[in-house]
Chains A and B, each alone.
Chain A
Amino acid sequence: MARLPGLGPRSARRAVLHLMAKRGMLLMPLAEAMAEVARTARDCLNCGNIGTADICPICADEARANGLLCVVEDVADLWAMERSGVFKGRYHVLGGTLSALDGVGPDDLRIPQLARRIEAEAISEIILALGATIDGQTTAHYIADQLEGRVALSSLAQGVPVGGELDYLDDGTITAALNARKRM
């Protein structure tokens, strides 16, 4: 437990002791639920979202095929966008950002799949919702460079703090950044 992000040894100990004290009420149902998730969890083959089927509920929902595609770094960002509830289109989860120093190249991200989705899903606009870090902006630039002329491209408006990830933003900020997105 202590190896989980956000949990230090002390909070991990407290959580474990709590689970042990409530074995029937908490530990068993949690253990069963986790076993179930471990068996069924997978990345959506289309967008990279995490779900329990090959195609995630968002990709399976025809109502969300409105021609808009929002590109995010990771699933936490997708969830942050979903929490705000303003975006009605589909997502594409890259699984990170380009960084030669960290050994992450275009082939390690879902960039080729992104290009294929433009025709397959009749995408009219791609919204790049990547962090304002150098790696995030380099990735945005890279994608824009590759897809230029094939689809309209936009990026989230400023207001996203430098080095900030979507997951840290409140819903209002995300809504404002989406509504004021800029054409690239």
Chain B
Amino acid sequence: MYLSSLTLSHFRSHRLVRLSVDARPVAIFGPNGAGKTNLIEAVSLFSPGRGLRRAAAAEMARRPESLGWKVTGILHGTTTHEIAFSSEGGAARQVEVDGKVASQVGLGRIARVVWLIPAMDRLWIEGAEGRRRFLDRAVLSLYPDHAQAVLDYEKAMRERNRLLKEQVRDPHWYAALEAQMARSGAAIHANRLAAVDRLTEAQREAETAFPVAELDLTQTEGEMPGSEAGLREALAESRFRDIAAGRTLVGPHRADLHGVFAAKGVPAAECSTGEQKALLISLILANARALAQDESQPPLVLLDEVAAHLDANRRAALYDEICALGAQAWMTGTERSLFDGLGGRAQALEVTEEAGESRVSTVALNP
């Protein structure tokens, strides 16, 4: 899957950028603050959710005008679609596919995007929330219906949490919400287990320079019931405890992802900074490979500042693996020379900044 054109209008530091690209990887270089991450953030919008910075639509509007913004692209997958995202006057983002308003869930069935950003560097050592989000992004790419299950679960849980906070005692009301939570929650759990298996398998099968991350889906506390009926029962049993806590204490929203550097048997959290990053790259590549196999096409891959942590050998290996995958990988770095190993296998964009406005120009990479 690849974009053949991308237009940014009043999106963050970009006033108006029109790009024509082909299916090859896109190397983006330029100094700090030039607008490279802003550019790939625009690409991340093609995946359901709030994009790679998880920013509100209003934040993306170019300052100081703050009028609104629009991102349009032509996406080629099994089918070709013109997809447009826009927000006006700080309103929520609107998605249009081929001129028709579309839902986020609908978008997820068309576009697959996976990414790695510097904010994930501390993923293995920080809270479970970041790891859960990382896993869910992989799950979503493999099983688009995951989006609906997550929306349903969160909506029902917010309702239940309100009952807990207001100390409502009506057992029928709880039971009704818990039935919804159990149905969507069991689906979420099953999707995550399947995705962990799929990522594990894709790492094992691949010839790769990156270390295998052994994954295990765990809970931050207690157990995750394995079935819908089990979850429903656990929620009912947890009501008293939950009223005291003012929130729901059991369910897939408390899941965690445990990673181990397989070759050494060391938990990811205890690995060196470079090893931790390598494990994440391994997982992103595995995710892309799994999609290339299941959907017969790799996803869009966004790698922000990925070259920075890798020595020249690892960098060359990464480029080789991405090219072998055939993925349109949008990669950023501060120097043109970081992409030296790619040569003609990629296209390049140079991003500069002048008086608060980003400029993007198509350039050549070193041979």
List chain A positions with a Cβ less than 8 A from chain B.
98-101, 105-106, 134-135, 137-139, 141-142, 145-146, 162
Within the complex, the shortest CB–CB distance from A109 to chain B, in Å, comes to 12
A53→B341 CA distance, assembly (Å): 83
Contact partner of B162 (CB less than 8 A), chosen from A101, A138, A162, is A101
A107, closest chain B residue (CB):
B170
Chain B count of residues within 8 A CB distance of the other chain: 19
List chain B positions with a Cβ less than 8 A from chain A.
148, 152, 155-156, 158-160, 162-163, 166, 168, 170, 172-173, 175-177, 179-180
A100 and B166 contact, CB distance less than 8 A: yes
Chain B interface, DSSP helix/strand/loop, else mixed: helix
Residues of A within 8 A of B160 (CB): 100
A134→B179 CA distance, assembly (Å): 10
B148 and A162 contact, CB distance less than 8 A: yes
A123→B160 CA distance, assembly (Å): 32
Within the complex, the shortest CB–CB distance from B182 to chain A, in Å, comes to 11
A146→B170 CA distance, assembly (Å): 11
**Interchain Cβ contacts under 8 Å between A and B, 22 examples:** A98-B173, A99-B159, A100-B162, A100-B163, A100-B173, A101-B162, A105-B168, A105-B170, A105-B173, A106-B173, A134-B155, A137-B180, A138-B159, A138-B177, A138-B179, A139-B176, A141-B176, A141-B180, A142-B173, A142-B176, A145-B175, A162-B148
A141 and B162 contact, CB distance less than 8 A: no
Residues of A within 8 A of B177 (CB): 138
Contact partner of B159 (CB less than 8 A), chosen from A100, A106, A145, is A100
Residues of B within 8 A of A139 (CB): 176
B168 and A100 contact, CB distance less than 8 A: yes
The 5 A-B pairs with the shortest beta carbon distances in the complex, nearest first, are A141-B176, A100-B162, A142-B176, A138-B176, A134-B155
Residues of B within 8 A of A105 (CB): 168, 170, 173
A145 and B176 contact, CB distance less than 8 A: yes
Within the complex, the shortest CB–CB distance from A145 to chain B, in Å, comes to 5
Contact partner of B156 (CB less than 8 A), chosen from A134, A145, A146, A162, is A134
B158 and A101 contact, CB distance less than 8 A: yes
